[in-house]
Amino acid sequence: MTEIRADWATKDFYKVLGVGKNASQTDIKKAYRKLARENHPDSNPGDANKHDTFKSVAEAYDVLGDPDKRKAYDDFRSQVSSGPFAGGFGGGFRPPGGFDIDDVIRGHSGGFGDLFGDFLGGTGRAQRPSQSRARPVRGPDVESSATIGFTDSIDGVTISLRLTSDAPCPTCKGTGGKPGTKPHICATCEGAGFIVSGVGGAFSLNETCPTCRGRQLVYDEPCPVCLGSGRGSSARTIQARIPAGVKDGQRIRLRGKGGPGENGGPAGDLFVTVKVTPHHLFGRKDDNLTLDVPVSFDEAALGADVKIPTLGGAPVTLKVPAGTPNGRTFRVRGRGARKKDGTNGDLLATVQVQVPATLNEGARKAVEDYRTATEGSTLRSGLFEAASP
Ligand SMILES: [Zn+2]
Ligand SMILES: [Zn+2]
């Protein structure tokens, strides 16, 4: 469906392009290209008349260059000249709709962008980034972070993540202008969207125009919602699966959970940096879990079966052999964290020999007897042998 625009009644596009009413599409295209080249803002910096002509030419070609639009235009004009609209719309009437220079400059109106690229490319000039039209663009990667419990980090967990992203402002659709107001071509960059620095040298640099921020157009009144930035923030909540065995500080990639793509492009990835809150008993060393196990002097000296907890499983019995020194680590196989290959790491249990802070009478007696029994121990003799030269 081609939209009929009321301002067509007062605009003679054939005259603008200097072609006859029966001109072929090829002739129209030729005339357009010639006029656009002559009047292009890039070739005529600061010439307001040429800018206006350029706009008119672009507007005319937007309609006549498209056979469907041209037919609608011709039909409408023939009705106007004989019907109730004859004579145009009068001074005070502001036609609804109207031509959107925004669409044309961004190359969304069809055909224009390609032509633009043609002749800009042909003269060795930089092509504008905004003219890459309708190409699928992969969505941006998104960074996020999450804090999970220690047990969840071992078992894996599904979490809800609230993500905020910089989407175009929904009120002004990213233009930054107050809805309903018309933009005009940016005076700073003369509609190019960028400015060239490093004048005169063989190397020049294109910088995004600071006035229009590369949009090529400026509005007199900024959008009241985004205050002219054109950006709005939107929030969404997604479910993210944190795999088993994740470590504190690890960055996890969730494919396709990032920002949405444009023009059918794939979504970006979501990266989640995971913070793991420490456990009050268990620690982590690579894929192994660690646990400190208090044992008494007599257990270490005589040997003992010591029951110890495992994470998320039944307790296991640690066989502490007679004569176990403080700090010895025992390995309980398969009771650690999940590994990438699906197997589990081990539980590393380290004995901590405890010295009682107080002794009851019976215990005191027993320890005194032990001292008597081990009289003449050479426990520290090695210290003095090592000290002599
Ligand atoms: Zn600008
Ligand atoms: Zn806005």
Q: What one-character-per-residue DSSP string does 107-146 give?
A: T-SSSHHHHHHHHHHHTTPPPPGGG--S--BPPPPEEEEE
Q: How far apart are CA 17 and CA 27, in angstroms?
A: 10
Name the closest ligand to CA 175.
2
Residue 262: band (very low, low, confident or very high) from pLDDT cuts 50, 70, 90: confident
> Is 70 exceeded by the pLDDT of residue 255?
yes
- How many helices (H) and strands (E) are present in the chain, helices listed first? 10, 15
Name the closest ligand to CA 225.
2
Q: How far apart are CA 191 and CA 106, in angstroms?
A: 11
Name the closest ligand to CA 195.
1
Instruction: Give distance in angstroms: CA of 125 to centre of ligand 1.
Output: 17
Identify residues whose C-beta is under 5 A from ligand 2, the ion.
169, 171-172, 223, 225-226
CA angle (54, 55, 59) in 5-degree steps: 120
Give the residue, 262 or 49, on which the prediction is more confident: 49
pLDDT digits (tens, 9 = 90+) for 55-95: 899 999 999 999 988 988 888 777 655 544 443 333 333 33
Query: Taking the model in full, what pTM does it have?
Result: 0.48
Instruction: Give distance in angstroms: CA of 105 to centre of ligand 1.
Output: 13
> Is 50 exceeded by the pLDDT of residue 107?
no
Residue 202: band (very low, low, confident or very high) from pLDDT cuts 50, 70, 90: low
Q: Which two tokens stand for residue 38?
A: 């002559």
| Phi, psi of 332, rounded to the nearest 5 degrees | -105, 110
